[in-house]
Structure 1
Amino acid sequence: MSRLKTFRTTFFVLMQALCLLTAGGVRAEGPLVSTGIGFEFASGSYGLGTRTDSIYVPFTLAVYPSERLGFMLEIPYVYQSSSAVNTGVLLGPGGGQMAGMHKEAAAMPGSGGTMPGGGGTPGGGNGSGGGTSSTNQSRQGVGDLTLKGGYVLVPEGEFVPRVRPYLFVKIPTADRDQMLGTGEFDEGLAVELSKQFGNWYSFAEGGYTFQGKSSVLALKDYFSFNAGTGYQLGERFLPMVIVKAAGAPIEGASELLELRLKLKMLVGAKSGVDGYVAKGITRSTPDYGVGLAFYHDF
């Protein structure tokens, strides 16, 4: 527990230090504030024989105090058709895939709208409901809030990828008794790499999540890795193929592996739409999923 408290304290200290370092700095052209809303649906049995459908509706607010520094807050609303799985573990820190959709990444050439990367932690269910006996009853409510802060250490160059490490903390606002969350703080860190070669855009991200200790769920710390590539069509369309993987987030679950086809489309200079279809490969990932997100830069 002391390790998590130390990480949490370090997270907020580093974020305050970054703000002080960038305060009063000259800001390059780009969005100062960006908002988004998404809708995601996933369905799977997760090796339990009971199918669980989940809906994740996240609202995101991203703030960029400087050219390199960015913060993002995600506030989700979640629904699941049963308590056979715990949505807080199913979706992982940062919620569904909206967090990954809306992170800072490369800008589509000739436009001020940001083209988000494809990171975020892939969903991975497990058989530990740990809650009530009324497994078939649906659950819904506010999910866990997530706060992220990242800094671009290395800007993208002709042959050098953009390097952005970030920290995140999951705040347990979801109802643990309704199996919408674990009731514990999670913390983590990751490093993003992204590069554009002509019309080709690629990214990779590796991270580690420290989960809280629960008396109900056998939570585990785990590594995660996400990567994708896409080819830009014109000035507005970017289809991508993405692989999302992670270690088992709980005892008894399998590793997580998911394939995804995503399409990013700019609507005007500062607005965009992201959509995806997903197919889970391992037992602890959803059998399939779909998502749609809208974002706007100010």
Structure 2
Amino acid sequence: MPVARPRCVSSRPAVWAAEEWAVENLKRGAAMKSILFVLSVLILQATSLPALAGSVPPQFAVGLGVDAASGKFGTDSTSTYVSVPFILDWFPTERIDLELTIPLLYQKSENTGVAALGANAKSSARRNMGYTGGSASLAGGGASAGDSEFGLGDITLTGGYALLQDSDTTPLVRPTLYLKFPTADDTKGLGTGKFDVGPGVAVSKWLGSWQPFVDSRYIFQGASNEDTGARDYFIADTGIGYSWNERFYTSAYARVGSTVFDGMEAPLDIRLKSVWRFAERLNSEAYLLKGLSDGSPDFGGGVAIFVEF
């Protein structure tokens, strides 16, 4: 006669799930510790440099940030998104800037079915206290309802070239190009698994201590087709900034765009942002947002610290 299996065998899936959860948490902790260690070393090195070195325009900046957002996106349930981006800026010349962003993502999507936030694709120009950009890529993956996921997000690369410099007669005109690499796990809903590309342009003008600006971009999603529901989309920030002194800058602006996925509204929110240079080679950025449509989070915000060298 067949031998019955021990009843304890049926508990193995639960044990495996617990083991996977423990391993995943160890990975999260190790990744965060590594990033914080690198940033701490850079901060210590930056603060130990002589003050005279600060007079030389920096060629590099390394940053670590935290972005969080929460919203219902037109549903009855709340979804939460957290991104921890590691950011590397390179300024090879006065006119050219490049930014590489490597984000760790956490998302809990209860009923939206689609990740509405992804890695920020900021158009950086951190060598001055003016507007530093912030046209984000809103495209995410196709997370299942009730999922809670963590992992590497899509790595992005953004470049800009100052075609015209801000002067008495001309504004700053800066064409940009955005690339998204499919490094996120699309099976977890952390990305679409496709490349994205987007040309854009940023225009700003100093009028005394005031700086009106607009930063726009059109994103061609590699996943744009009937199967995913993803669409190519337009996104733009427009507003005005004010420089209180050489170390502190604030801005208020609106983020507008077109629909990113079928069935979602177009994003629309308002934002307040500050940039504070609290040391010779250290500066911080912080922002708050309030969504005005179901295509944007209800609330959100973020903070980042940058070390220049």
TM-score (norm 1): 0.79
Highest CA radius of gyration, 1 or 2? 2
Distance 1:60 1:105, change over 3 A: closer
Match of residue 181 from structure 2? 171
Give how far 1:278 is off: 0.5
**2:98 aligned residue:** 71
Matched, 1:199 2:194: no
Residue 171 (structure 2) pairs with residue 148 (structure 1) = no
Look up the match of 2:261: 250
- 1:30 maps to 2:47: no
Aligned to 1:209: 219
What SS does the corresponding residue of 1:227 show, helix, strand or coil?
A: strand
Higher relative contact order (CA 8 A, sep 6+): 1
Assess if the C-alpha contact under 8 Å between 2:251 and 2:274 holds in 1: yes
Q: Which runs of 5+ in 1 are unaligned?
A: 1-27, 109-114
CA deviations on 1:145-194 (whole Å, 9 max, x unpaired) are 00112211111111311111011110011111111111111110100112
1:31-54 Cα offsets, whole Å, 9 max, x none, are: 211111110110001012121111
Given that 1:106 and 1:194 are in contact with CA atoms closer than 8 Å, whether structure 2 keeps it comes out as: no
Q: Secondary structure at the match of 2:116?
A: helix
Query: Contact conserved, 1:106 with 1:116, CA < 8 A, in 2?
Result: no
* Amino acid corresponding to residue 117 of structure 2 in structure 1: L
Partner of 1:3: none
Identity of aligned residues (%): 35
Deviation of residue 91 (structure 1)?
2.5
Are 1:69 and 1:150, in contact at CA under 8 Å, matched by a contact in 2?
A: yes
- Provide the C-alpha distance between the structure 2 equivalents of 1:174 and 1:86, rounded to a whole number of angstroms: 17
Q: Quickly say closer, same or farther: Cα 1:174–1:138, change in 2 above 3 A.
A: same
What residue number does 2:128 align with? Answer: 107
Q: Higher helix share goes to which structure?
A: 2
Q: Distance in 1 between matches of 2:262 and 2:65?
A: 30
Aligned to 1:177, the other structure's residue is in SS state helix
Question: CA shift at 1:139, angstroms?
Answer: 0.6
> What amino acid sits opposite 1:181 in the alignment?
G
Matches within 5 A, 1:1-298: 30-82=57-109, 84-85=111-112, 90-92=116-118, 95-96=119-120, 99-100=121-122, 103-104=124-125, 107-108=128-129, 115-121=130-136, 123=138, 130-132=142-144, 135-213=145-223, 216-298=227-309
Contact 1:59 1:75 (8 Å CA) reproduced: yes
- What RMSD over aligned residues (CA atoms) do the two structures have, in Å? 2.2
Partners of 1:184 and 1:261 in 2: CA distance: 32
Q: CA deviation at 1:105?
A: 6.0
Instruction: State how far apart, in whole Å, the 2-side matches of 1:141 and 1:83 are.
Output: 18
The one-letter code sitting in structure 1 at the alignment partner of 2:266 is: E
Q: What's the secondary structure of 1:219's corresponding residue?
A: coil
Deviations 1:169-228 (A, max 9, x none): 100111111111111111101001122222112221122110013675211111122112
